[in-house]
Amino acid sequence: MKNLIGSWLKIYENELELFLWTVALMFIVRGSGMILDNYAETAFLKRYGVEYMPIVNMINAIATFLVMGVLTGLMTRFTDARLLSYLFVFSGVSVAGLRALIPFGIDIIYPILFMLKSQYEVLHALLFWNLANNLFNTRQSKRLFPLITAGGVIGLIIGSFGTPFLSRTLSFDNLLIFYLVICLLGAVLVNRMSTQFPALLKVDKRPRKAKKKRTSMVEEFKNVLPLMKESVLVKLMIVLTLMPNVVIPVMNYQFNYAVNDQFATEGGLVQFFGYFRGVLNIISLFILLFVGRIYGRWGIPVALMFHPFNYLLAFLSFLMRFDVFSAIYARMSTQILRTTINIPAQAVIMGLFPESYRHMVRPFFRGTVVRIGLFIGSGLILLSVPYFHPRYLSLVCIPFVIGWIIAPFILKKRYAGILLDLITKNVIDLKSMEPKDIGLLFGEKEVRVQLNQAFLSAKGNDALWFAQLLKTLSIEDLDAELLKKVKDEDDETRIGLISLLSEKAGRLGIIRMFYDLIDPEKPRLAIAMVQAVKNLDLQGAPDFMRHVFETFNDLQVKANAAGILFRQNPESYRPVIDGWLGAEDIEHQKAGVVAATESGELNYADRFMNILNKTKNKELLPQIFEGLSRLGTPDLNQRIFPYLSYPEDSVRKAALNVFQIIDDDSLKQVITMMGDHSEEIYDLAKKKIEGSPYHNNLFLISSLAIPRRRVREGLFELLELFKIKDIDVIRFARSQVESGYNYLAEAEALLVFPESLKRELLIRHLNQERTVRLENTLRVLTLQDRTGQMKIISRGIFSSDSRQRANSLEALDDLIDPSLSKIMFPLLEDFSFSQQLVMGRKFFNLSDFGTDRSGIVKHLLAKPDWVTLVLTLYLIRDDSSYKADPDVMADLMKSVNPNVRHLAIAVYKGQSKNGVEKGETMEKEITISDKILHLKGIEIFEGLSVGELAAIASVTEEVFSPPAEIVIKEGDPGDTMYMVIDGEVSVIKGFDSKEPMELERIRGGDYFGEMALLDDIVRSATIRTEKESRFLVLHKEEFKEIVREYPQIALHICKVLSRRIRKLHEKVRI
């Protein structure tokens, strides 16, 4: 079911659970608020009186200002999750407390409830969206917030339609008890989310910096006053913000007055509110999900006229017919137009302000101007109450509405000048805008005319900038203007303008103009024209291409033309392209690659691969990569991958440019490329990750454990760009800890097998993997902590000094989230495995394999880690009491990993024979598991993890030597290390001299030639076999590849060799 919901709503699997919890919370916030709203408004109107609404609204506005100040202080001390949980409890209990006072006839509780419903609605929404912003990053919010909002609207709908039913079922006043129950349910839900997603409860225990003092209304006015003097846009926005907030309280008063007169009973009024708001919210949901932004077709100034004109109609309807029908029209129409047109259009206008202005004007408009408007509106109602009926408030408000209407007309008249002035000053950030917002912004005909005039008068890069903007706006007849401009510009600008031509340009005689522009001395311009003719599919294109092909001597121009001509006449141009590809000189080969790419013939991909395998000319490689990409070559990443480590920067960059991020493996490779020494490759890798449609936040966070500072810095920049939250880090840490406990459970389950080196090797590997998960967790927490405290703590946790370790654990407990430390500490403390598992099962649902061998084996053979697979197969290889699952073995025998595949085949064959034949078969070969055991017993490798030993074992080969064979010779260059499996060799100094000297004998379990892996010196002695011997051989090149993946291997070998040198020095001193 979850997968179905996720695929339908386009939600990734790893975020679906959190999304559903968040939607459920939003549903409760909105649903409970609607029930309280319907009750409080009905009770106030019927039990207290609509005439008191203006004064209550004014008091409520003042209370809102004070409550927000208190909330700001609380938000510095508590997390949003905890505050929201407390607010749910406080809201429910306070409302239920007021319900208990109703039988005593205390009327003042109804205006209190009326104000509380407004305050709680604002506070719940504010804390919820703060919480949501902490849970989801920027990319996620763009996709998920509209869906979460839709969940809230569904809550409003059910709350609206449910109110009349609950009122009849429970009684009207008991709606407040039901509100208490819903609020408590909301608090439980928040706490449950906090358990499920522990980052919600993360509390920063460090002292917080004091918040800046809240700016007063007078100070805000002083800050904006200079802008008002110099900017028409600021003045218009003041009017567009002030006037609606003056008339909104009046219309709300008229609405409530009319419906209160219409419905004489509380039951009738609450039923009206329920059904009316339910229908209104259904319309809102429909608009939210299906209609979208319908304001775009008229342009900003015209769009801003709809709302005030509708208010004018609403006030006139109240004036002529003051009843419930006028009230319904007024509320419904203003609500819909406000949601679909006015708010989005004003948001686009706000985007016109430079970033440096927004931090001043946004609080001014939303705070000071809104409050002034609301006070004026409420004051007008108060002044009118003693003198005339609310119907005539329409006459008072109509002048304000007219002033509101005039503002969009002035904006429309001056809109073009405002925009061009902002463009001239380069203060509009078009890159950050969506294309549909840009189209809306420049939707006015007059604006487009002036933009076109600016384009025609501009030169060079300015002309290109205006042309690209006009192209974005889909200006009619743009092609004709571009062609006019092409004739008067320099070649570089011509190339840019030609690339912007659309398919409609074919009707404008473009071919004739191109013939006039053709100049054999301008090959880049010619290529631009050839590409334009290809893209536009123009009549007469083949003749033009042939003309270019025959006229130009430049091979790149001829190649572009030939590739396109190939599409119409492959028989004539295939020999030309094949001839270029088969030529000896590089320029003809480049031409062949270009022409083959332009031909679109997929068969040329194989030809490109043959050239890649043979060519030694690095200049040709980038063009081949681009050709493979443009031809849509299957398995492109696999073909390009080897060139990501090519010695030349230009080749690596070209390979990375066409490399595609399609999964975690390809993402990992691009992350690795951020460690490249080339700045261009580093920047390209970051851009590819940033712009990739595939992204995995947890993978990026886990990659912070890569031991390269340059990569980490790049990842930090990406994480900051993606606005990845602390919860993502906590999720990663929690998943790593859970994985650590699972490794522990697997190791314990293996104890049912008889004690053996095979079993101990696998258990050791699983325990080392558990330690790696803990180290990764601490490393990521360390890298995320910019204070440096975690680095010191992490270093101490893995110290051999017990006192330092204890102090570090104490410091860690104080620094990180308590919910995280609670699950981590059992794995970090010196508890036994059984104790750790007991505690781990309290936190996670760990597998319990019991005494069933088949369960743990089947589980381990399903893991993706090839080392675990090999060691598990090694464990069951000679166990006659265990029979492997045929289906599992069939899959493993098809594994792409040769070590897994070969051992799986051996196990399958061995279990199909009798014990003697099986033993004989096994003795003839050495498996990778046997190699690991041999390596483990060699001094320079004995301290490595099983995974590191497996990496080395995977690149070693088995070699046999008869007695008296020279294995290595003194003075020869060396690049190989030998590990003796069995047999015996002698170390001889001066073998070819008259008096050779035998220095020592090396037997099974020892090694020689190790210095060849680290240095380029010649062999210092001769090695000769004294009897038949068997070796594991490790070559230098393979060793270097392994060290790139596991740099700690080289560090460990250096430590061992250093100890050896120190001992030799001590002997010399003696």
pLDDT digits (tens, 9 = 90+) for 791-845: 788 878 877 777 788 888 888 877 777 778 888 888 888 788 788 888 888 888 8
Nearest to 519 by CA among 531, 510, 527: 527
State the Cα–Cα distance between residues 1013 and 976, nearest whole angstrom.
7
Nearest to 478 by CA among 500, 458, 459: 500
State the Cα–Cα distance between residues 683 and 897, nearest whole angstrom.
33
Give the pLDDT mean for 905-919: 63
Radius of gyration of the chain (CA): 38
Q: How much is the pLDDT for 920?
A: 41
pLDDT band at 313; cut points 50, 70, 90: very high
pLDDT band at 162; cut points 50, 70, 90: very high
Q: How much is the pLDDT for 921?
A: 40
Cβ pair 44, 112 in contact under 8 A: no
pLDDT, tens digit, 9 for 90 and up, residues 127-155 = 888 888 777 765 566 677 778 888 888 99
Q: Residues 171, 173, 174, 178: is their CA dihedral positive or negative?
A: positive
State the Cα–Cα distance between residues 1035 and 652, nearest whole angstrom.
26
pLDDT tops 80 at residue 785: no
Could you give the C-alpha distances from 182 to 35, 100, 681, 690, 735, in angstroms and in order?
10, 18, 55, 42, 32
What would the two tokens of residue 579 be? 């001839």
Cβ pair 498, 486 in contact under 8 A: yes
Q: How much is the pLDDT for 203?
A: 42
What would the two tokens of residue 404 be? 């509101």
Q: How much is the pLDDT for 233?
A: 80
What letters, b where the CB count within 10 A reaches 16 and e where it falls short, cover 370-409? Answer: bbbbbbbbbebbeebbeeeebbebbebbbebbeebbebbe
Token pair 């019927």: residue: 46
Backbone angles phi and psi of 155, in degrees to 5: -60, -40
Chain-centroid distance, C-alpha 275: 41
Bridge partners of 1031, per DSSP, are 959, 980
Give the pLDDT mean for 217-239: 73
What would the two tokens of residue 962 be? 């008869």
Cβ pair 334, 401 in contact under 8 A: no
State the Cα–Cα distance between residues 33 and 119, nearest whole angstrom.
10
Which burial class, exposed, middle or buried, applies to 468 when counting CB atoms under 10 A from its CB (0-12, 13-18, 19+)? middle
Q: How much is the pLDDT for 922?
A: 38
pLDDT band at 180; cut points 50, 70, 90: very high
State the Cα–Cα distance between residues 249 and 242, nearest whole angstrom.
12
Q: How much is the pLDDT for 506?
A: 61
Q: What single string gives the DSSP state of each residue in 914-931?
A: -HHHHHHHHHT---HHHH
Contacts 24+ apart (CB under 8 A), 470-473: 471/500, 472/435, 472/438, 472/439, 473/438, 473/439, 473/442, 473/448
What would the two tokens of residue 313 be? 């109609």
Cβ pair 55, 111 in contact under 8 A: no
Give the pLDDT mean for 526-540: 81
Q: How much is the pLDDT for 200?
A: 46
Nearest to 84 by CA among 26, 41, 45, 157: 26
What is the 8-class DSSP label of residue 1049?
H
State the Cα–Cα distance between residues 28 and 24, nearest whole angstrom.
6
Q: How much is the pLDDT for 120?
A: 92
pLDDT band at 355; cut points 50, 70, 90: low
Could you give the C-alpha distances from 614 to 582, 584, 617, 619, 623, in angstroms and in order?
12, 12, 9, 13, 15
pLDDT tops 90 at residue 894: no
Q: How much is the pLDDT for 336?
A: 82
What is the 8-class DSSP label of residue 1001?
E
Q: Which residues contact 880 (CB under 8 A, 6 or more apart)?
A: 915
Which burial class, exposed, middle or buried, applies to 206 when counting CB atoms under 10 A from its CB (0-12, 13-18, 19+)? exposed
Could you give the C-alpha distances from 531 to 477, 485, 510, in angstroms and in order?
21, 19, 13
State the Cα–Cα distance between residues 68 and 72, nearest whole angstrom.
6
Average per-residue pLDDT for the chain: 82
Highest mean pLDDT (candidates 30-34, 639-643, 695-699, 849-853):
30-34
What would the two tokens of residue 834 be? 């059984």
Cβ pair 671, 696 in contact under 8 A: no
Q: For residues 784 and 635, which has the higher predicted lDDT (pLDDT)? A: 635
Q: H or E stretch including 1056?
A: helix 1047-1069
Q: What single string gives the DSSP state of each residue in 414-452?
A: HHHHHHHHHHHTT---GGGS-HHHHHHHT-SHHHHHHHH
Q: How much is the pLDDT for 1029?
A: 93
pLDDT tops 70 at residue 392: yes
State the Cα–Cα distance between residues 745 and 739, nearest whole angstrom.
10
Q: How much is the pLDDT for 428?
A: 60
Alpha helix (H) residue ranges in 798-897: 802-815, 818-828, 833-843, 853-860, 866-877, 886-892
Helix or strand or coil: residue 458?
coil
pLDDT tops 70 at residue 914: no
Nearest to 819 by CA among 78, 15, 194: 194
Chain-centroid distance, C-alpha 904: 39
pLDDT, tens digit, 9 for 90 and up, residues 582-598 = 888 889 989 999 999 99
Bridge partners of 959, per DSSP, are 1031
Give the pLDDT mean for 558-577: 90
Helix or strand or coil: residue 107?
coil
Cβ pair 182, 92 in contact under 8 A: yes
Backbone angles phi and psi of 522, in degrees to 5: -125, 75
- The greatest distance separating any two alpha carbons of the chain, rounded to the nearest whole angstrom, comes to 131
pLDDT band at 289; cut points 50, 70, 90: low
pLDDT, tens digit, 9 for 90 and up, residues 673-730 = 998 888 899 999 999 998 888 877 778 887 876 656 678 778 878 877 776 666 677 7
Compute, in degrees rounded to 10, the torsion defined by CA atoms 868, 869, 874, 875.
Answer: 70
State the Cα–Cα distance between residues 134 and 556, nearest whole angstrom.
53
Cα angle for residues 669, 670, 674 (degrees, 5° grid)? 115
Q: How much is the pLDDT for 625?
A: 92
Alpha helix (H) residue ranges in 76-174: 80-101, 109-135, 138-170
Q: How far apart are the first and last CA of the chain?
A: 77
Q: How much is the pLDDT for 184?
A: 95
pLDDT tops 90 at residue 275: yes
